[in-house]
Amino acid sequence: MFDWKPEYSVGIAAIDTQHKRLFELVGQLHEIARTNDGFDHYDEIVKVFNELRDYTVYHFGYEEKLFEQYNYDSHETKIHKLEHGGFVNKMIKIGQEDLDKNEKKILLNVIMFAVDWIEKHILHTDKKYSDFLNSHGVR
């Protein structure tokens, strides 16, 4: 669930590396969330969560720059950017409201939401640009 799998490959090395990093960060959050040592890990959780949010913003920007650079289909670009924007907004909202409650159940829900979204987005939305970008020499 928290490991990047070969079936996630979009055929572009830099983007696969970025996707691996996203899974790594969500996996780190999950590790912290399941730690049962009696200590409060709130600060650590917020730190990794913010890292995930910021890295997501960087990664989405990287993809969107490629769309622009190679003139990717305007309709696909629009839908894709909307998905990216929706996720970032949700992450910001979670950071402001949900994490504040410092509850394990909420954190686990957030983690499941994030990993599920990332997986679906890669498989159903990112993969659509593979052939197009590959045909422009982006690999």
Site residues (CB under 5 A) for Fe ion?
Answer: 63, 126
The full DSSP string for 67-100 is HHHTT--HHHHHHHHHHHHHHHHHHHHIIIIIGG
Of 83 and 98, which has the nearer Cβ to Fe ion? 83
Q: How far apart are CA 55 and CA 124, in angstroms?
A: 21
- Nearest approach in angstroms of CB 120 to Fe ion is 11
From CA 19, how far away is CA 10, in angstroms rounded? 10
User: 102: phi > 0 → left, psi -120 to 50 → alpha, else beta; which?
Assistant: left
Residue closer to Fe ion by CB (options 119, 126) is 126
Residue with smaller CB distance to Fe ion, 107 or 133: 133
The least distance separating Fe ion from the CB of residue 107, rounded to whole angstroms, comes to: 24
Shortest-Cβ-distance residue relative to Fe ion? 126
Whichever of 112 and 123 has its CB closer to Fe ion, that residue is 123
| CB 29 within 8 Å of CB 111 | yes
Q: How far is the CB of 4 from Fe ion (least distance, A)?
A: 15
CB of 63: closest distance to Fe ion in angstroms?
5
